[in-house]
Amino acid sequence: MCANPVTRFAPSPTGKLHVGNLRPALLNWLYARKGGGQFVLRIDDTDAERSKEEYVDAVKRDLEWLGLDWDRYERQSERMDRYNAVADELRAQGRLYAAYETGTELGLKRKTLLQSGRPPVYDRAALNLTDEDKAKLEAEGRKPHWRFKLDQTRTSWTDGIRGDVNVDCASVSDPVLIREDGGFLYTLCSVCDDIDFGITDVIRGEDHVTNTATQIQIFDAMGDKPTGFAHHSLLVDADGSGLSKRLGSLTLESLREAGVDPLALLSYMARLGTSEPIEARATHAEIIEGFSLDTLGRAPARFNREEIDALGVKMLHTRPFEDVAPLLADAGVETAIAPKFWELIRENIASTDEISDWWKVVTGDITPDIADEDREFVTTAQAAFDGAKPWDETTWKTVTDALKTETGRKGKGLFMPLRKAMTGRSNGPDMGALLPLLKR
């Protein structure tokens, strides 16, 4: 890890963030925070047709919910002059050239190559066009897209996760950097930004490995040293199958609305695909402290939503009163008894949404659950408890001991009908401690 690293997360605002997006966002944030550096949020919104402001807002909302703060905020749509200037420099070098093939024509070329058993690499036919050829094509109404001319050699780097990596760029098509409509694709803009913003390290999915080789050559063409790159494995389902079909239901928004604890989600994602055990962390500082890029493996990371829920429940059961005091207040819990109330219920709930349900038990806003065969016993017990008011923490034992002697009931036959009648539930906190809080 370099000193004071500068990393970035660069989402395109064309949809909502999901767990697949969260992985690079979190890893880059952790790497920057662990090294005492900076984390840049860059919105890749050069695609004006597909980018929407509502998704920009959603990105910020999701990161804020998770506590992934950023030190610098940038938007590519505000940097078009810079990209155009770099494109002109690359044209002057002969590294950016105009190509006029239509999508259909390119598709036919790829199909032909594949049918002959060759890789579908662009044949660089556009490099043979004369000025006269170009003028004729443009007179027909064609507009050029612009390709970067790769050096057809091996491009190598030491990857922060994968180790030594090299890509044979002779087997890679010259990438399109600018579309026919003049719009820039990710590849060139990202290199410009990484240079200008002083990005030292980029952590992203392994599906970008070939793209990294291309970008390293663009760094070289611009006369700058490449950033450090690390490529993590992609997420798969718990059974090892692809996760892509489920990503729509695994948006950060949907997880938030489902009541997922953000620290549980971060604790899980920070260790997913590593050699370290997944453990609940109570603070961001603990997650940062336990992070190391060296622990990330190359095998696909198996994502299991149920494990996040289980981790969240475990964390919830240990949360101190101070952390949940605002939630208790929102549920209407009286300030005077809120600490005791939380102490009693926290190990009996699976999410904070259940706080209000247990407060209803205290206030009496419940439907007693009384079986027909227990109705006479419950009536007797009610009179006994009414006669023992005001209730304290000794009342439950005193009254139930007396009822045991009077009715001959004992064990579950004694205690369960009383619990169900008083709380409407068959399980919950110790009744001796809960009884003094009940309002009836």
Work out the mean pLDDT of the chain and round it to a whole number: 94
pLDDT at 350: 87
- Give the global pTM: 0.85
* Cα dihedral 177, 162, 13, 225 sign: negative
Kindly state the tokens that stand for 253: 């928004």
Radius of gyration of the CA atoms of the chain, in A: 31
Distance CA 425, CA 423 (A): 5
> pLDDT tens for residues 18-35?
999 999 999 999 999 999
Secondary structure (3-state) at 223: coil
> pLDDT tens for residues 221-279?
999 999 999 999 999 988 777 776 666 679 999 999 888 899 999 999 999 999 899 99
pLDDT at 440: 65
**Residues 414, 403 contacting (CB under 8 angstroms):** yes
DSSP string, 32-90: HHHTT-EEEEEE----TTT--HHHHHHHHHHHHHHT---SEEEEGGG-HHHHHHHHHHH
Secondary structure (3-state) at 17: coil
pLDDT reading at 1 higher than 60 = no
DSSP string, 340-385: HHHHHHGGG-SSGGGHHHHHHHHHT-S-----GGGHHHHHHHHHHH
For residue 354, which amino acid is it?
A: E
